[in-house]
Structure 1
Amino acid sequence: MNLFNLRRPQPSLDDLTADPAQPPRGDNPSSECLMASVERPPQVFVRGQGSWLWDSSDRAYLDFTQGAAANSLGHSPTVLVKAIAAQAQALINPGSGLFNRGQLNLAERLCLSTGSDQAYLLNTGSEACEAAIKLARKWGQLHRGGASRIITASGSCHGRNLAAMSASDCQSNRFEPQLPGFAQVPFNDLSALHAAVDAQTVAIMLEPIQVSSGVVPATEHYLKGVERLCRELGILLILDEVHTGIGRCGSLLAEQQYAVRADIIALGKGLGGGVPVAAVLARGKACCFEPGELDGTHHGNPLMASAGLVVLDSVLNHGFLEHVRDSAQHLREGLNRLANRYGHGEPRGQGLLWGLTLSDDSADAVVKAARYEGLLLSAPQPDCLLLTPALTVSKANIDEMLLRLARAFSRVHTAQLQCRRGIAV
C-alpha cells in the first residue's frame, strides 16, 4: 500500500543537496541547544511501526535505514515493546557488580547459538570493538611474549572509542589522536597482510563487509586465507560483526557465510533491536579476561538484556533467516533492475545489507530526493547508497521502495539536465 504518494515540483540540483535551514513549523522544540555532531534533515520524527516512520507533520516515510541497521526487527515491534515494558516494571539496573537473570540468559544464549565460550555485554559496537582489542592484547601478554600490534584493513571503521578509532580508517578520525600499536594494509589483499605480520603482531581485525567504505565485502578467498594465516602464525582473528551480525547477512553471523571461525567477535547494532546492546564473544584461549578488566555502569543491565534476548530469539525462530534470505534476493534483483535502467553499478552486499554504487557523486542528492518521495536512505560515500531495511521487511515494502527510489533517480537526473542546460546558456 502506498501510504505516502507525494507530488512536488521538480527541484533544482541545489534543492536536492541542501535541506531548508529551518525545521518544519509546529510544536517541535528548537535544535539550537543540540550540539551539531552530525548533519540531520529538518524533520522531527515522532513514531514508527515496522518499516514506516512518521514525522511531527504526520507524514509517513518508508525507512530503509532503520537507525543505521540497529532496528533489526523494525520500529517498535510488539514483542520488543512488551518485553522492555515488563522488564522495566521488575528491574532496570541493579548495577554492573551484581548478577541479573537477563544478563546471564543473554550471555548463555549468545554462546550456545554462536559456538562461543564466553560473552561480555556492553552498550555499543564501539565498546565491543574496544573490548576485543583489549582482550587480544591481554592474550598477547599471556601467550605471545607481550605482542600487542593489531593489523587492520584500510577502509575499516571499527567505532568511535579511542582504541577502536585508532584501528579504523574512518573519515571521522581526522580530529582524533591515534594510539600506537596498529597497522593498516589494503583490504582483500592477502599478500599485503602476509608482509605486514611480524613478531609483535597479536591479531588481525577485519570487518566481513566494510560498510563505511561503500559496502565492500571480503572475498571468500581472502577471509579464508586470513584465517589460515592466523592459525599458521598462532595469532588471533578478530571479526568486527557490528554491522553484519545477528541475521543481517542471512545467517546469525557473517562468518558462517564464509565458513571461517574467529577467535573474538564484536557484536552491536542489531543485537538490541534499537536498544543499545552490544557484546564481545571469545573462543578458546582468547577467554582470558580477569575480574576488573572490563566494567561499565550499564553493561548487561536487565533492560538491555531483555531486548537482546527478544531479538536473538526472534532471529533464531524457525523460518526467520529463510525470510531474510528470500527478501534479500528480491531486493538484490530489484536493485539490479534499477541500476541497469539508470546506468549505475551493480549492488554489493549480503542478506539485507546492500550498497548501490552510482555512476557519479550524486548520492547525497539522491538521498534528499528520496526524502521528497517519502523514502529514507543513507550514503556512506559520495557515490554509494546504503540500504539496511528491517530484517522483517516485506516484499511489498521492497517493491514500494524501488518505486520511490526510481522517482528519486528521475528527480536527480532532471535536475542535473537543468543545471547543464543552464550552464550551456
Structure 2
Amino acid sequence: MSQSQWLERYQSALMRNFGVPKRVFVKGEGIHLWDADGKRFTDMFSGIAVGGLGHGHPAVTEAVASQMRTLGHISNLYASPPQIALAERLVSLTGEPSRVYFANSGTEANEAALKVTRLTGRTKIVAMTGSFHGRTMGALALTSTAKYRTPFEPLPGEVVFSPFNDVDALASVVDDTTAAVILETIQGESGVIPANSEFLTAAREITRVHGALLWVDEVQTGIGRCGEWLTSVADGVEADLITVAKGLGNGIPMGACLATGPAGELFTPGSHGSTFAGNPIAAAAGLAVLDTIATEGLLDNAHAMGRLIKESLLGLGNPGIREVRGRGLLLGVGLSDQTGSRIVDAMLDAGWIIQAPRPDVLRLAPPLIVDAKTVAEFVEVLDDMVRRVRNNDR
C-alpha cells in the first residue's frame, strides 16, 4: 500500500492532535528508516531521543521476544525477576540508596514524582520557564509553554515558574512552603538550553535550606543520550527525585521515577500504581538497553560523535548557523533566522530526519550508535540545505 493510501486511512481513523504525518514508516534497521513508498531515511532524531540503540537492535529484539515467550504480564500485584533486576540497576546509577517506581512514559514518571512531592505535606512546586515535563494534567501544570497549557487551564497544583538559570530569581521564590523544585539539566523542547553548573549547584543548596525536594527531569537527557547514565549524577548534583524514560526502553514504553534517601520512603502501599508499568517485557528491554550501552561503549561514542558534530558544523563557516549547543548526542543548532521548519522539511526530502523545537533551532538526537561516516554525510547535507533555504529567502 502506498504512503498516500496509508495517510488517507490515518486521517479518517485517528484523532487530529498530531496533525497529518509527513511520512508513514514501515521498517527500521540501525540508523535507517524506510517509508511506505520504499524511500530510505537516516534517523538523526531517534523518535524524540528514544532509540539510542537504533531500530531493530538484536539485543533488545531478542530480550523482548524471549521474555514474551517466558512471561508477558502479571500486573503489579506480583513481581518478576526482570523488574527487580532493572530496579537494582537503576538504583546503582544514582550512586546512593534509592527506590524506583516504574511507569510507562516520561509523563507518567513525572506524575509519580509529583505525587511523591505531595506526601511531604507541602503543595507548592517551583518549575522553570521554558520547561517541558509532559502532556497529562499534572505534568502539564509543570510545563511553562503557553501553547500547551492554555487550552486546558485551569491546571492543577500550586506551581510557580522561575526563570531558568537565574539563581537570584530561584532564591526569591523558594521558601519553607515549597515541596519541590523541578528542572531539566538541558531544556530540550525549549531549544536545547543547558543549565549552567552554578544554577544546578544553587538549586540544590536553596532546596536544602528550605527543606524542599530537588527534582531533576532526565527523561530526555538520561540513559546515555548525553554521554552519561544520568547527567545530574555525573555533575555531582544530589537530586531527591530523578525521572527517566525515552531511551530506557529503546521504543518499548518505559519510564521510571527514582527517589533517593528519605524521598524513597514517601510512597507506601496503595500510594500509587499502574497496571502495565514495569511489566516483564518492558523491564527486559530496559536491561538489554543498559547492558548494550555498557558493553558497546556507547557513552564514550555519544561524547565523541557529539563533539564531532559540533566541531564539524561550526567549522563550516555557514552564515546560517550561529552556534551548536548541548551535550553528547542531544544538540541544538542555533540558526541565524527563523527557517527551522523549512530546513527540517528540506532535510526530510533529502532523506534525513531532524526536528525544530523552535523556529531558529534545529534539534539533533541521533542514535548512540551513530558513526563518523554518517556524521560526515549529515554535516555535508545540512550545510547544503541551510544555505539553500537561506538563499531562497533573498
**What TM-score do the two structures reach when normalised by structure 2?**
0.95
Q: Is the aligned partner of 1:214 residue 2:191?
A: yes
1:107 is matched by which residue type in structure 2?
A: A
The percentage of counterpart residues that share the same residue type is: 37
Deviations 1:268-302 (A, max 9, x none): 11110111100000111101100111111101100
3-state SS, counterpart of residue 9 of structure 2: coil
Residue 58 (1) aligns with residue 38 (2): yes
Cα distance change on mapping 1:79 and 1:29 into 2, 3 Å: farther
Normalising by structure 1, we get a TM-score of 0.88
Deviations 1:162-206 (A, max 9, x none): 111101113322211211311001000010111101221111110
Asked if residue 334 in structure 1 is aligned to residue 319 in structure 2, the reply is no
Q: What CA distance in whole angstroms lies between the structure 1 residues aligned with 2:234 and 2:113? A: 21
Does structure 2 conserve the Cα–Cα contact (< 8 Å) formed by 1:28 and 1:56? no
| Corresponding position of 1:16 | none
- Give the letter for the 1:109 counterpart: R
Is the 8 Å Cα contact of residues 355 and 384 (structure 1) preserved in structure 2?
yes
Provide closer, same or farther for how the CA distance between residues 210 and 42 of structure 1 changes in structure 2, counting only shifts above 3 A. Answer: closer
Q: CA deviation at 1:29?
A: 6.1
CA distance in 2, matches of 1:203, 1:266: 14
Say yes or no: does 1:111 pair with 2:111. no
Q: Match for residue 172 of structure 1?
A: 148
Which of these residues, 111, 114, 118, is aligned with residue 133 of structure 1?
A: 114
Tell me which amino acid in the other structure corresponds to 1:62.
T
In structure 2, the partner of 1:8 is none
Could you tell me which residue of structure 2 aligns to residue 122 of structure 1?
103
Cα distance change, pair 40–29 in 1 and its aligned pair in 2 (3 A): closer
Aligned to 2:82: 102
1:410 to 2:390 alignment: no
1:305 counterpart = 2:310: no
Secondary structure of the 2:239 match is: coil
Q: Contact 1:159/1:168 (CA < 8 Å) preserved in 2?
A: yes
SS at match of 2:331: strand
Aligned to 1:275: 252
| 1:155 matched to 2:130 | yes
Q: Which residue of 2 aligns with 1:74?
A: 54
Read off the aligned partner of 2:104 and give its amino acid letter: N
Deviation of 1:43 (Å): 2.1
Please list the CA deviations of residues 62-98 of structure 1 after superposition, one character each: whole Å capped at 9, or x if unmatched.
Answer: 1111110111111111111111111111111111211
Could you tell me how far apart the structure 2 residues matched to 1:25 and 1:382 are?
28
Give matches, 1:23-422, under 5 Å: 24-25=3-4, 30-32=9-11, 33-115=13-95, 116-138=97-119, 140-141=120-121, 147-170=122-145, 171-177=147-153, 178-287=155-264, 288-317=266-295, 319-338=297-316, 340-417=317-394
For 2:374, the aligned partner's letter is: N
2:114–2:138 Cα contact (<8 Å) kept? yes
1:159 CA drift (Å)? 0.8
Q: Residue 6 of structure 2 contacts residue 24 of structure 2 at CA under 8 Å; is this kept in 1?
A: no
> In the aligned structure 1, how far is the partner of 2:211 from the partner of 2:263?
12
Q: Distance in 2 between matches of 1:323 and 1:348?
A: 18
Specify the SS of the correspondent of 2:322.
Answer: coil
Query: Which of the pair has more CA radius of gyration?
Result: 1
Flag the 1:249–1:284 CA change in 2: closer, same or farther, 3 A. Answer: same
CA separation in 2, counterparts of 1:299 and 1:27?
A: 31
CA distance in 1 between counterparts of 2:161 and 2:144 reads 8
Structure 1: distance between partners of 2:228 and 2:320? 31
Single out whichever of 114-123 and 301-310 deviates more from structure 2: 114-123
SS class of match (1:346):
strand
Structure-2 separation of matches of 1:216 and 1:117: 28
**Distance in structure 1 (CA, Å) of the matches to 2:366 and 2:168:** 36
Other structure's SS at 1:393 match:
coil
SS at match of 1:30: helix
| Cα separation, 2, equivalents of 1:188 and 1:351 | 20
Q: For residues 183 and 27 of structure 1, do their structure 2 counterparts lie closer, same or farther at Cα, with a shift above 3 Å needed?
A: closer
1:125 is aligned with what amino acid? G
